[in-house]
Amino acid sequence: MRKISVIGIGAGNPDHITVQAIKALGQLDVVFVIDKGPEKDDLARLRRELCERYIAPRAYRMIEIPDPPRDRAPSRYEAAVEDWHERRSRLYEEAIASHLAESERGGLLVWGDPCLYDSTLRILDRILARGELAFEHEVIPGITSLQALTAAHRTTLNQIGGPVRITTGRRLREQGIGPAETVAVMLDGECAFNAVEGEDIEILWGAYVGGEKEILLSGPLAETAPEIESVRRDARDQHGWIMDAYLLRRRGEA
């Protein structure tokens, strides 16, 4: 039966790859590549470097799966995501069926870890549920962008015994921050931290964390927010894309 390894490759530093991931890469016949977003050149570079380091000189094939366009401002968000996942799953299914032989092993290389804000596993579940294509699959964990962020700031994710909420910029805007929690925010293209109020809140922000372009800023939210906004805008203009994440927490409780 076909085998698929979903491999977390870390959030931008090729040295973050685990030994388990290296072993899995070394067995691949086909690497499936999903090209999406303006950051794709940097993603492609990291992927190429990992394949050259850990698969070559063993022969492998690289197969590109196109990413269908997505409506970013739909009137019905859930329905739009459902439709997008369905179209993506059809394209994945087609690529696996046509390019991976029954006895072969394919790999899907996932930025960070597949468990965090990534749809690859849901898409594979959807293909299996349709029942038209059979394969075995395994998941190899990777270093998430949040681990890279906390390591870069030399801090912990949680306050002592405290809860952590991982959320998006959109939800942070709606829900704010509770009295004793840490909020880790990803997928925020709009600097939603500006909607959070509180003199005692600090922010630990990072862009391109773990990579060569890494930028880190931290401090009291009210003072640091304008600087982050301006640095963020300049970096995005310079590189054509940005990936950033941040922690918000009450000062003195780390």
Ligand X SMILES: C[S@@+](CC[C@H](N)C(=O)[O-])C[C@H]1O[C@@H](n2cnc3c(N)ncnc32)[C@H](O)[C@@H]1O
Contact assessment for residue 234 and residue 38, using Cβ atoms and an 8 Å cutoff? no
DSSP per-residue string spanning 157-220:
SSPTT--EEEEEHHHHHHH---SS-EEEEES-SS-GGGG---TTEEEEEEESTTSTT-EEEEEE
Please state, in angstroms and rounded to a whole number, the distance separating the CA atoms of residues 55 and 57: 6
CB of 100 to ligand X, least distance (A): 23
Beta strands across the sheet bearing 3-8: 61-66, 30-35, 105-110, 3-8, 136-140
Cβ distance to ligand X smaller for residue 172 or 207: 207
Instruction: State both tokens at 136.
Output: 């075995």
Please state, in angstroms and rounded to a whole number, the distance separating the CA atoms of residues 205 and 224: 10
Q: Is the peptide bond before 57 cis (omega within 30 degrees of 0)?
A: yes
Cβ distance to ligand X smaller for residue 21 or 100: 21
Cβ distance to ligand X smaller for residue 37 or 226: 37
Please state, in angstroms and rounded to a whole number, the distance separating the CA atoms of residues 247 and 200: 14
CB of 217 to ligand X, least distance (A): 12
CB of 132 to ligand X, least distance (A): 27
CB of 123 to ligand X, least distance (A): 13
CB of 25 to ligand X, least distance (A): 18
* Interacting residues with ligand X (CB under 6 A): 11-12, 111-113, 116-118, 144-145, 148, 186-187, 206-211, 243-245
Cβ distance to ligand X smaller for residue 12 or 107: 12
Cβ distance to ligand X smaller for residue 99 or 213: 213
Please state, in angstroms and rounded to a whole number, the distance separating the CA atoms of residues 46 and 114: 16
CB of 2 to ligand X, least distance (A): 24
Cβ distance to ligand X smaller for residue 196 or 243: 243
CB of 117 to ligand X, least distance (A): 4
Q: For ligand X, which residue has the nearest CB?
A: 112
Please state, in angstroms and rounded to a whole number, the distance separating the CA atoms of residues 216 and 183: 17
How big is the CA angle at 166 (ends 162 and 171), to the nearest 5 degrees? 120
| Residue 102: how many other CB atoms lie within 10 Å | 9
Cβ distance to ligand X smaller for residue 100 or 231: 231
